[in-house]
Structure 1
Amino acid sequence: MVAMHTIFTIFFCIISFTSRVSALLESCYKLQLPSPVLGPEALAFDRNSEGPYTGVSDGRVLKWKGSSLGFVDFAITSQNRSKELCDGSSDPALENNCGRSLGLGFYNRTGELSIADAYFGLLVVGSNGGVATQLATSAEGVPFRFLNSLDVDQGTGIVYFTDASARFQRSGDMTGRLMKYNPMTKQVTVLLRGLAFAAGTAVSKDGAFVVVTEAIASRIVRFWLQGPKANTSEVFAQLLVQPDNIKSNARGDFWVAANTGKEECRKEALPSSLDREEKVTLADADCGT
């Protein structure tokens, strides 16, 4: 069970890398969400390093404006969203009207924010926010059921995103997919099928591959985009926990938020299962990272 503080607040940790990740924590602080909003999901910073931006339970994408203003409205994904009905809601029955943004990623060249919404598909909104524009709701004739995360390749603008299930709304199974959206052609391409609850995804620093977490299989899979292994996949890391979101940093390391099913906070550096230098760092969901 996820600790309550991870539901109501967002935690940030400033990390300096040394030999053991568990000893790296220098400072943490929390950003309080406006009450009664719940469930912060996905984090993104814009090209000016402003933010973070996060999607919350009532369908809004919020932006942090500093301690004096806190979080303010930035974007919504539902064209017919009722502010009176939705604002502050944590009722899952209202999500198909209010929206539920689970994946966020900026393309720094344009300042646009791509959004993966569990009900309204893949969308994009300009740097000034507002009502997002819908880009895609299906791939190969199969509707999106549970878009869960995304990442934007800063070199190409291509958006990589996951659908946790091709069959069930807001539930994951063994039919998850990893896909890409090309803004030049406006086409969606399925890269991987049959994923075990496709959750997080992240592009490598050099754009050579993309990784996707499988919550049910407790592993991270790598899909090669370039090089002699292009268009093939392999296990990147096998875990003992259920991974969710994954992010890469400026060093090319990957940070994974995972559910260990335990109450204690744990951070652990996981070596790559392959012969590259990427580092995979695991953070328990209860750590709030």
Structure 2
Amino acid sequence: MAILSIFFSVAFLPHLLPIDPYSKYTQLNLPPGSIGRESVALDRFNQGPYVGVLDGTILKYKGPNIGFVFFAYTPLGTEGGNATLVANSAGGVPFHFLNGVDVDQFTGDVYFTDASQTIDIRRGFSLPGGPVISVDLKFVLFSEFSNRRIMKYWLTGNKANTVEVLLYLPGNPIKIKKAPEPGEFWVAVNIIVHQPTSVTPLGFKFNSTGGILLIKEFEGQYNNIHQLIAVQEYIGGKLYIGSREAKFVGIHSKW
């Protein structure tokens, strides 16, 4: 089983991919006891990064001399206020494990996934994750963890309200994030071998037609971590790595 899995993952890799440009690595340690950092964000002033940890606290990085400091708890926007419950079920089925969200900045529509089922768009997919809306607002992408693939749900055009397979992967994908370049995305992929147990964490950069642009290997920094959750790229060529188990923020920069 292990031999077949490793062979498949190597054979899957496309030819003539560019050399990995993200060769510089920086590690920002979280405060003691802080874990569960799945995603990383910068603000509009390119400050941060900001991270959310397991107890609901939002932390902000203030530089190497200060490190991460408390920023907010269950954030409610820049003006604060009281939280308003928008929804806790769909079609009479309660939400169970919401694990991804993206918002249409023009219409305000919210797209999210429940890892126990898919809500609002489609049902019947296997552990869906993501999702992410395309820049042109024509489609939504989401991942299927168990089926090892990326799905495309069309919002407009002749294919509106239909779904198709965009990309098959050699491992289990989780969150999808936009890349700075329009029409390009990152997805965290974990190649899991069960006997003996091992996880090879990778980041796949791909485009809206399913073409793989780059494969980034993270085993050197995350070899003792169960799995990656998210790979987020921001303008300036930096990858911020999310993992539920890591006690640090990993940053991979270009030369």
TM-score by length of 1: 0.61
State the AA in 2 paired with 1:68.
N
Do 2:51 and 2:58's aligned partners in 1 also have CA atoms closer than 8 Å?
yes
CA distance in 2, matches of 1:152, 1:280: 25
How many residues are treated as equivalent by the alignment? 201
Alpha-carbon spacing, 1:267–1:221, altered in 2? closer, same or farther (3 Å): closer
Instruction: Give 1:62 shift.
Output: 2.0
> Which residue does the alignment assign to 2:90?
139
CA distance in 2, matches of 1:159, 1:281: 29
Alpha-carbon spacing, 1:226–1:68, altered in 2? closer, same or farther (3 Å): farther
CA distance in 2, matches of 1:246, 1:256: 4
Do 2:100 and 2:130's aligned partners in 1 also have CA atoms closer than 8 Å?
yes
Alpha-carbon spacing, 1:265–1:239, altered in 2? closer, same or farther (3 Å): closer
> Which residue does the alignment assign to 2:246?
none
Q: Secondary structure at the match of 1:135?
A: coil
Instruction: Give 1:279 shift.
Output: 4.8
> Which residue does the alignment assign to 2:64?
67
Instruction: Give 1:67 shift.
Output: 2.5
> Which residue does the alignment assign to 1:177?
118
Q: 1:67-86 CA deviation, whole Å, 9 max, x = no partner? A: 23322233333xxxxxxxxx
Alpha-carbon spacing, 1:244–1:131, altered in 2? closer, same or farther (3 Å): farther
Instruction: Extract unaligned runs of 5+ from structure 2.
Output: 1-15, 193-197, 223-240, 242-255
CA distance in 2, matches of 1:198, 1:284: 23
Query: Map of 1:97-108 to 2, 5 A cutoff?
Result: none
Is 2:68 the partner of 1:127?
A: no
Is 2:79 the partner of 1:161?
A: no
> Which residue does the alignment assign to 1:210?
140
Do 1:255 and 1:283's aligned partners in 2 also have CA atoms closer than 8 Å?
no
Same amino acid, percent of matched pairs: 41
Is 2:23 the partner of 1:26?
A: yes
Q: Secondary structure at the match of 1:51?
A: coil
> Which residue does the alignment assign to 1:254?
185
TM-score by length of 2: 0.68
Instruction: Give 1:142 shift.
Output: 1.3
Alpha-carbon spacing, 1:61–1:134, altered in 2? closer, same or farther (3 Å): farther
Instruction: Extract unaligned runs of 5+ from structure 1.
Output: 1-18, 78-123, 166-175, 179-189
Do 2:188 and 2:203's aligned partners in 1 also have CA atoms closer than 8 Å?
no
CA distance in 1, matches of 2:87, 2:213: 31
Do 1:64 and 1:71's aligned partners in 2 also have CA atoms closer than 8 Å?
yes
CA distance in 1, matches of 2:53, 2:214: 25
Q: Secondary structure at the match of 1:177?
A: coil
